[in-house]
Copies of this chain bind each other. A is one copy, B any other.
């Protein structure tokens, strides 16, 4: 039995309906809605009662139109299905929700064409700002063309390609990939490792380049040799990593440790090692990057770099909100620290 207060109506209740029912003007109802101190206590009570009674729902779109404001932020991700970005999105939504914004979601699946479409479509909804983790190969010119200067942009995780990129007028939040990989490498070196490979990722990707640079930095600082064929590329997933494992052992002496591009690659590599009868964490040291949920639960648990994606999401949202408050400030580049988490997969080299 439906009560009167749960109307089956499909026509939506507006300010005008409430005003008519209370015999006041729309202006007054509007003031009540926004908690203005101007309205009489008694009037306010009457109006609020009526709002409740009729089940009024505020129409933010109309208000935004009139006030020339916006209460949404577009979040465009290259791969929402990836747990890292799912966590990131959760953090973004958390922080934006707290600030009264709503998240417009767009997932591009690493397709540049779809990125353009998604951005264009979301922009029509007039977001106050955009958080973009670009698809691989996405260029600054493209993004500049669709977003223009009309909406503040915060770039996450990857730089845009193209010569326009370096001095493009947007904010950035990046992970400290280089330092992270350096920490991992230094950790292995401190354990006594000398023959250390860099395993996984595509040399084309900017994050892979940065991580590799950190590895090189630590190796050189320690005066250790960097064998070019100890940099092994593979797609950033477990399956391909497991398949490429053999490439580590083409020549002797083979490496006894590997700094991996990320956790997925590291877990895949450990799988591949097992299959060859090599026990990671005892015969061979492995480090990852990201600290995904499984890292702590693998056998052995994975030494890796925690980037706390949810916190990064919150941070991204904060940075963008800050930009909205202060549109004239200089573009800002923020580099988020990552933290080395030592677990069982890293070990000294086996005694000869």
Chain A residues at the B interface, C-beta cutoff of 8 Å? 6-10, 12, 55, 57-62, 64-65, 71-72, 75, 80-83, 85-87, 89-90, 93-94, 97, 100, 102-107, 109, 117-118, 121-126, 144-145, 148-150, 238-239, 242, 267-268, 271, 274, 293-294, 297, 299, 310, 327
Contacts and interface: CB of A to CB of B under 8 A. Distances in A.
Given A93-B107, A104-B104, A122-B102, A6 B144 contact: yes
A149 B55 CA distance: 11
A81 B83 contact: yes
Contacts of A64: 61
11 contacts: A6-B144, A9-B149, A59-B65, A75-B105, A80-B90, A81-B310, A83-B83, A90-B107, A97-B121, A105-B105, A271-B297
Given A80-B93, A238-B297, 15 more contacts: A7-B149, A9-B149, A10-B149, A55-B148, A55-B150, A57-B126, A59-B124, A60-B125, A61-B64, A61-B65, A81-B87, A86-B86, A89-B105, A90-B109, A103-B105
A256 to B, nearest CB: 23
Contact of A107 (B94, B144, B148): B94
Contacts of A123: 57
Q: Count this chain's copies in the assembly.
A: 2
Contacts of A100: 121
Contacts of A121: 97, 100, 102
Given A60-B125, A81-B87, A125-B72, A150 B65 contact: no
A108 B297 CA distance: 26
Contacts of A293: 238
Given A81-B86, A86-B83, A58 B106 contact: no
A38 B85 CA distance: 46
A150 B6 contact: no
B271 A60 contact: no
B149 A6 contact: yes
Contacts of A12: 150
B103 A104 contact: yes
Contact of A93 (B97, B106, B126): B106
Contacts of A93: 80, 105-107
Contacts of A87: 81
Closest 5 A/B residue pairs (Cβ): A86-B86, A105-B105, A103-B105, A60-B124, A61-B61
Contacts of A9: 149-150
Contacts of A94: 107, 109
Contact of A118 (B10, B97, B268): B97
